Amino acid sequence: MLIAVEHRETFTLHSRVYQLPKQPTVVVWVDGFDPEYLQSGLDSDLLPTFASFLKNGFHATGKSCMPLFTNPNNVSIITGAPPSIHGIAGNFFLDRSTGKETMICDDSLLRGSTLLEQMSQHGVRVAAITAKDKLRKILAHGLKGDAVCFSAEEASECTLAENGIADVEQCLGRPALSQYSADLSLYVLDAGIKLLQEDKSDFLYLMLSDYVQHKHGPGSPEADEFMKAIDDRLTKLAVMAIVGVTGGHGMSRKSNDAGEPDVLFLEDVLNAKIGENAARVICLITGPFVRHHGALGSFARVYLRDQSLLESVLAFCQALPETEVALSGEDAARKYDMPLDREGDIVVISTSSTVIRSCESEHDLSTVKDFPLRSHGGLSKQAVPVIMSRAVKDVQIASLRAWKNYKCL
């Protein structure tokens, strides 16, 4: 999402012309930004700044890209393109050439440039700050030496050479707290406010964590408190810059009536049906930062040892009660704008109330039993707010209905 303001230059990326901002601009990426969180806070009069943006600026409900995970949507927003173009189609993937399961934590699989890189190359002072360090190296792709790029998770480790900034904790007057806290996201916003106050950045991309949304539903005291804290910080940002806010995916409850995670152990089910080690299931939400969701999401890729079984296994997956959609990898890539060469043989998307894991023996569910599980990945939670602090003057743009979170305002 890139905000249309007064311009001084243009550049082209992925066959689209972008205009460089002439005044300070901030994009806030609220991970897990389901519209229900926004509406709950508005209904309770907790979010005066968001309310002002909606009244005096721009607001639409857009769709995030598939699959509904952090990496694909983050990269789509900073490239203005779907995963089929930029190549990042999950948080975790299977490298077919090596057979290794690998977490995506750098820009080695990224195809092409990013909006941040292009602005940096054109003289815009860019700052990209993320809650989780696993995304920092993707955000830093191609940034010039004067750019700032760091994570709240590793704020104490920042150096001028690596991050374009040092002594972050001293600058903000407090250390970054636990990965598993709302404060990690608020730290990102506080750092952005500080950079603007000290006139050290022209364009800020601030990426938050979805820890709170994984634990607490819309209208809960914890969620309302978190949204209010974001709103308070948006007030400060809006005084100094044009502000845009969007998200990467929604969030829904994935527990049964007893409060237990409702899990389809897909690899176990497939191997029982077609033979031991006949199928390999890769769950894209897997990563190092999973205590809040237990690596349980609603989108999985299936890899078969015997390709002649594709049609029968696909039909079996489609018939499972936990399945909302099951497609061949080729059909899924085409339908959801994902890179075919990084797709599985079969894609399985679970229903809105269930999640997918590979094998029950390899998974400890105890870490997600303190609260009823909430997660994402499937089709039911594609809707995210697309908000700007200023009104859109272009009537044609403002009237668009098919919004994506990475489409330009």
- Coil, helix or strand at residue 236: helix
Do residue 346 and residue 269 come from a single domain? Answer: yes
Q: Is residue 354 part of a domain?
A: yes
φ, ψ of residue 346 to 5 degrees: the values are -135, 145
CA 178 to chain CA centroid, nearest Å: 20
Domains held by the chain: number: 2
Q: Is residue 14 part of a domain?
A: no
Burial class (CB in 10 A: 0-12, 13-18, 19+), 324: middle
CA–CA distance, 209 with 213 (Å, rounded to integer): 9
For residue 299, the domain's CATH number is 3.30.1360.110
In tens digits, the chain (409 residues) has pLDDT values of 544 444 458 888 888 888 888 899 999 999 999 999 999 999 999 999 999 999 999 999 999 999 988 899 999 999 999 999 999 998 777 888 888 887 888 899 999 999 999 999 999 999 999 998 888 999 999 998 789 999 999 999 999 999 999 999 998 998 877 777 889 999 999 999 999 999 999 999 999 999 899 889 999 999 999 999 999 999 999 999 999 999 988 888 887 777 778 889 999 999 999 998 899 999 877 554 444 444 678 899 999 999 999 999 999 999 999 999 999 999 999 999 999 999 999 999 999 888 898 888 776 666 656 667 878 788 888 999 999 999 877 655 555 567 888 875 4
Do residue 203 and residue 288 come from a single domain? Answer: no
Do residue 202 and residue 277 come from a single domain? Answer: no
Do residue 175 and residue 242 come from a single domain? Answer: yes
Whole-angstrom CA distances from 327 to 101, 106, 178, 188 are 22, 29, 39, 38
293 CB-near residues (< 8 Å, 6+ apart): 214, 285, 368, 373, 374, 375
CA 115 to chain CA centroid, nearest Å: 16
Do residue 279 and residue 179 come from a single domain? Answer: no
**In 3D, which of 386, 390, 409, 408 has the Cα closest to residue 64?**
386
Please report the pLDDT score of residue 6 as a whole number.
Answer: 45
Q: Is residue 149 part of a domain?
A: yes
Q: Is residue 278 part of a domain?
A: yes
For residue 229, the domain's CATH number is 3.40.720.10
**In 3D, which of 260, 316, 244 has the Cα closest to residue 4?**
244
116 CB-near residues (< 8 Å, 6+ apart): 78, 126, 128, 139, 141, 142, 143, 147, 203, 205
Do residue 76 and residue 214 come from a single domain? Answer: yes
Compute the 3-state secondary structure of the chain and give helix, strand, coil in percent, each to the nearest 5: 35, 25, 40
Q: Torsion angle of alpha carbons 3, 4, 7, 12, nearest 10°?
A: 80
Do residue 85 and residue 152 come from a single domain? Answer: yes
Do residue 130 and residue 168 come from a single domain? Answer: yes
Q: Is residue 18 part of a domain?
A: no
CA 63 to chain CA centroid, nearest Å: 12
Do residue 155 and residue 290 come from a single domain? Answer: no
Please report the pLDDT score of residue 4 as a whole number.
Answer: 46
Q: Is residue 28 part of a domain?
A: yes
H/E segment holding residue 204: strand 203-207
Do residue 284 and residue 201 come from a single domain? Answer: no
Q: Is residue 406 part of a domain?
A: no
Please report where in the chains the tokens 């269930």 appear, as a residue. Answer: 354
Please report the pLDDT score of residue 8 as a whole number.
Answer: 56
Please report the pLDDT score of residue 5 as a whole number.
Answer: 44
Please report the pLDDT score of residue 194 as a whole number.
Answer: 97
Neighbours of 274 (CB within 10 A): 17
36 CB-near residues (< 8 Å, 6+ apart): 217, 218, 219, 250
CA–CA distance, 398 with 387 (Å, rounded to integer): 11
Do residue 160 and residue 137 come from a single domain? Answer: yes
Domain span including residue 45: 23-97+105-251+381-400
Do residue 396 and residue 359 come from a single domain? Answer: no
Q: Is residue 364 part of a domain?
A: yes
308 CB-near residues (< 8 Å, 6+ apart): none
